[in-house]
A = this chain, B = another copy of it.
Amino acid sequence: MSHRSIDSTRLLGRIAELGAIGRDAEGRLVRLAASDSEKLGRDRFVSWLEDAGLEVAVDRIGNIFGIWNGTGGGEKPVMIGSHIDTVINAGIYDGCYGVLAGLEVIQTLKSEGLEPRRPIVVAAFTDEEGVRYAPDMMGSLVYSGGLDVTAALKTVGTDGTVLGDELARIGYAGSRAPGFMTPHAYVELHIEQGPVLEREGVPLGAVENLQGISWQKVTIDGDANHAGTTPISMRRDAGYAAARVITFLRDRAKASNTPTVATVGCIAFEPNAINVIPSRATFTVDLRDPDEDRLKQEETALAAFLELLSAEEGVGVSVERLARFEPVKFDQAIVRQIEAAARDRGLPCKRMTSGAGHDAQMIARIAPGAMIFVPSRGGISHNPKEFTADTELVAGANILLDVICGLATGELPR
């Protein structure tokens, strides 16, 4: 039994080549959205699209599309997408892998003379990382109608620039209306950015949903008093109260036997002096769960605990909501096609939840979609140590090939 295969040398070469573009003076990979260095990456990607004979389209928010109409012109396309902007001091796989594998899949099917019933499109969405312009996943959010393009273009960045100006300056303020193609289906191939596949020794993930996210900032107010002269019973210690919230969240998540995760990533005490009881503790709470009801339960449990804490410790508590996204359910048929393709190639595949946000969750608003994950060494991402083995990258791209082929032709994967 023989399978189609992407050109692994070409794919891996392009990942390395794109990963070398946008290095700063210290050698760090920094391709922030719509920056000069990202322009270099965009230009290289567009040149590859042109070399592959694809039609290149850019929409008003700067999303780039490589379109192979082939024999399917006029039908809704099958879309493969991700992003090529990066965080500061990034690895080379996050986003870029999915975009370049998408191009690779189209180029492979095209060179094999496939006659698809639908166009196949590869998309690189603008500003997925959101480091320079908030919110993240902006290009796919605008494309799917979740944010007005005119408003989005006015976004002021962390460096004081305006997104629309910067896109025009680098030559990527396109003319197409975001959403100009409604996908028949959407598939995104991505590194897991978590440790699950590696720890379980499974090379592939069929991502069936994406966690809902609740971000809150909690401020606890007590009294700053002398650490030596204030008896324990007379304290209103904001730092101790914060510590109780941290242990509450973690112990609850651990005991729950659910996929709920809870993280306190940021903290600050005031006045932050060794011999002064903290008068204020400020910290963030990141709650995630693939089930909306359970995520709401967790939020409610936190609120109830904060109320109890306020009474028990005599501290003031205030909560600010920073972000809230409902969980996303991907398309079950596409998830099953991913599993079938893996089975057909004799590769183990795990149904899983995405803990991170991806463009796929935005495009899921307008089209059936799903994601394919490959392992991340040590679960590390957003870091130069981000790593996935070449064999795993190639295996993931071949599964993408099979699934896209099936979606574009109606063939079952083989």
Where the two chains meet, the residues of A that have a C-beta atom closer than 8 Å to any C-beta of B are 192-196, 199, 211, 213, 215, 224-234, 237, 239-240, 242-244, 246-247, 250, 253-254, 259-269, 272-278, 284, 286, 288, 322, 354-357, 379-383
Residue among B243, B266, B274 making CB contact with A273, cutoff 8 Å: B266
Contact yes or no, A229 B356, CB < 8 A: yes
Contact yes or no, A269 B272, CB < 8 A: no
Distance from A47 Cβ to chain B, minimum over Cβ atoms (Å)? 32
Assembled-state Cα–Cα distance A349/B225 (Å): 23
Contact yes or no, B195 A230, CB < 8 A: yes
Contact yes or no, A232 B261, CB < 8 A: yes
Contact yes or no, B272 A226, CB < 8 A: no
Contact yes or no, B227 A288, CB < 8 A: yes
Assembled-state Cα–Cα distance A286/B196 (Å): 40
Contact yes or no, B277 A265, CB < 8 A: yes
Assess A215 versus B267: contact at CB under 8 Å? Given A227-B286, A240-B250, A243-B247.
no
Residue of A199, A274, A277, A354 with most chain B CB atoms under a 10 A cut-off: A274
Assembled-state Cα–Cα distance A357/B275 (Å): 11
In this complex, what residue of B is CB-closest to A217?
Answer: B274
Residue among B226, B242, B262, B274 making CB contact with A322, cutoff 8 Å: B274
Distance from A219 Cβ to chain B, minimum over Cβ atoms (Å)? 14
In this complex, what residue of B is CB-closest to A191?
Answer: B229
Number of copies: 2
Contact yes or no, B253 A274, CB < 8 A: no
In this complex, what residue of B is CB-closest to A225?
Answer: B379
List of B residues within 8 angstroms of A192 by Cβ: 229
Assembled-state Cα–Cα distance A348/B192 (Å): 70
Additional pairs, 17, CB under 8 Å, beyond known A199-B234, A239-B246: A192-B229, A195-B230, A213-B228, A225-B380, A226-B381, A227-B286, A228-B354, A229-B355, A229-B379, A232-B250, A232-B253, A232-B261, A237-B263, A243-B243, A265-B269, A267-B268, A274-B286
Contact yes or no, A240 B246, CB < 8 A: yes
List of B residues within 8 angstroms of A268 by Cβ: 267
Contact yes or no, A263 B288, CB < 8 A: no
Contact yes or no, B228 A261, CB < 8 A: yes
Distance from A147 Cβ to chain B, minimum over Cβ atoms (Å)? 20
List of B residues within 8 angstroms of A246 by Cβ: 239-240, 243
Distance from A390 Cβ to chain B, minimum over Cβ atoms (Å)? 22
Assess A267 versus B267: contact at CB under 8 Å? Given A240-B250, A356-B229, A379-B226.
yes
Assembled-state Cα–Cα distance A265/B265 (Å): 18
Closest CB pairs A-B (n = 10): A194-B229, A228-B355, A229-B355, A243-B246, A227-B263, A243-B243, A274-B284, A227-B286, A240-B250, A228-B356
Distance from A38 Cβ to chain B, minimum over Cβ atoms (Å)? 21
Contact yes or no, A265 B272, CB < 8 A: yes
In this complex, what residue of B is CB-closest to A254?
Answer: B232
Instruction: Write 29 A-B pairs (CB below 8 A) sorted by A numbering.
Output: A194-B225, A194-B231, A195-B230, A195-B231, A196-B229, A225-B380, A226-B381, A226-B382, A227-B263, A227-B286, A228-B261, A228-B355, A230-B261, A232-B260, A233-B254, A237-B250, A240-B246, A240-B250, A242-B243, A244-B247, A247-B247, A263-B277, A265-B269, A265-B272, A265-B275, A266-B272, A267-B268, A267-B272, A276-B382
